[in-house]
Amino acid sequence: MGDREGAPSVGLAVRNITKVFGAAGAAAVHAVDDLSLDIHRNEFFTLLGPSGCGKTTLLRMIAGLEQPTSGAVLLDDEPLQGLPPFRRPVNTVFQSYALFPHMSVGENIAFGMQMRRLEAATVARKVEEVLALVRLEGLSDRRPSQLSGGQQQRVALARALANQPKVLLLDEPLSALDLKLRKQMRLELKRLQKATGIIFVFVTHDQDEALIMSDRLAVLSAGRILQVGTPEDIYKRPRSRFVADFIGDSNIILGQPKAPDRLALGEAAHLHLAEPLRPEHAGAAELPVAIRPESCRLVNGAALEDNANVFPARVREIEYLGADTCVVLDVAPLRAPITVRLRNVEAEDTVPREGDAVRVSLPAAALRVLDL
């Protein structure tokens, strides 16, 4: 198949796709704005972004339910342009399960296959197979109204999988479920993706879901992709302030570039960096730097090397979170408070109290210089 060594092969490609709603001019909405994306074969890929950023519009263009204003969608290098939704090897699972209420579970699942005129015996076998896949054996004769929300969601999945699509689009499918069920379905969906090898394009505005489930994810804002990577990549190396804030919690520190490996914090203090500034950053008047609360440390007496970036601080607030405690600090040279997250099993005796004077370390290796 012409795969280059080691490089994962592209299954679904989105090329410079744009969707403008409404008349041109002031009223026009660029729901998706010149967006390109390569999704690999056998990948669990997530589109993560706040409400209104264009996730559903992008899915609908992949499904053929919406025509792009410009740009293309390719599956295994073949453009899908011009194919109506039912001719695309793509199925969608919506948040509202969209099951037929007057049909049994089995009939719901069989429907698409019957429309494609598959033999009755084949349809019956496939219904049993996908019911087993989503762990609903024996419920074929029930009506959707006789099932729990989680079970209805599984029927919607089974129905989509029965069509043996190459791509399954999932538009916030877990958002109607309660937290416990949602957590269970996360693992279930991941298992289903790996068991079938189908490309899953999963849409969510929930960062935890995106981190737990995805092989890779794209962070979207205002119709554009800000960053694509593995969950670890995105969490550890956010490139922009939006991504650093949207995924997990970040402390943002503003500093002025003074040397290739150093930012000034006001008149007297410095922040040492582990890596030299990139050329595009070196000339900036002020740069945002992110550090995760769990990467910050409270330190006592002992002198530490420069790269530890140790500053005197005062405890403004303590937030007890059960497994962790967050200590919010006013740090003398910084304009905004810094939150330090401590694991309670490790820190039981060392959690300070409000008003205490402490010292905080912002290790250079954990600092990420962000794009402006």
204 binds, among Mg ion, ligand ADP, none (CB under 5 to 8 A by kind): none
- Nearer to ligand ADP by Cβ, of 25 and 355: the residue is 25
> What is the helix (H) or strand (E) element at residue 269, kind and residue range?
strand 269-272
- Which residues are CB-contacts of 139 (< 8 A; sequence separation ≥ 6)? 105, 131, 147, 151
Secondary structure (DSSP) of 316-332: EEEEE-SSEEEEEEEET
Helices (H), the chain: 55-63, 105-115, 120-133, 149-162, 179-196, 207-213, 231-236, 241-246, 279-282, 344-347
Q: Is 54 in the site for ligand ADP (CB under 6 A)?
A: yes
Q: How far is the CB of 104 from ligand ADP (least distance, A)?
A: 32
Question: Phi then psi for 47, rounded to 5 degrees?
Answer: -100, 115
Question: Phi then psi for 128, rounded to 5 degrees?
Answer: -60, -40
Contact code string over 9-38 relative to ligand ADP, x by CB under 6 A = ------------xx------x-x-------
- Which of helix, strand or coil describes residue 261? coil
- Which of helix, strand or coil describes residue 31? strand
Angle at 105 between CA 99 and CA 109, to 5 degrees: 75
* Window contacting ligand ADP (CB under 6 A); options: 52-60, 78-86, 243-251, 283-291: 52-60
Q: How far is the CB of 29 from ligand ADP (least distance, A)?
A: 5
Measured CA to CA, the distance from residue 269 to residue 62 in angstroms comes to 51
Q: Is 57 in the site for ligand ADP (CB under 6 A)?
A: yes
For residue 225 the two structure tokens come to 């992709």
Q: Is 51 in the site for ligand ADP (CB under 6 A)?
A: yes
* Window contacting ligand ADP (CB under 6 A); options: 49-57, 70-78, 177-185, 251-259: 49-57
167 closest CA partner among 100, 95, 85, 285: 85
- Nearer to ligand ADP by Cβ, of 51 and 300: the residue is 51
Q: How far is the CB of 203 from ligand ADP (least distance, A)?
A: 7
Sheet holding 78-79, edge to edge: 29-40, 10-21, 70-75, 78-79
The count of chain residues that interact with ligand ADP, using the rule CB under 6 A, is 12
Q: How far is the CB of 50 from ligand ADP (least distance, A)?
A: 7
Q: Point out the residue whose Cβ comes nearest to Mg ion.
A: 56
Q: How far is the CB of 298 from ligand ADP (least distance, A)?
A: 39
Q: How far is the CB of 146 from Mg ion (least distance, A)?
A: 29
74 binds, among ligand ADP, Mg ion, none (CB under 5 to 8 A by kind): none
Measured CA to CA, the distance from residue 171 to residue 159 in angstroms comes to 15
Q: How far is the CB of 37 from ligand ADP (least distance, A)?
A: 15
Q: Is 61 in the site for ligand ADP (CB under 6 A)?
A: no
Binding site for Mg ion (CB under 5 A): 56
- Nearer to Mg ion by Cβ, of 56 and 227: the residue is 56
Q: How far is the CB of 55 from Mg ion (least distance, A)?
A: 5
CB 11 within 8 A of CB 76: yes
Q: Is 144 in the site for ligand ADP (CB under 6 A)?
A: no
Q: Is 63 in the site for ligand ADP (CB under 6 A)?
A: no
Residues at the contact surface with ligand ADP, assessed by CB under 6 A: 21-22, 29, 31, 49, 51-57
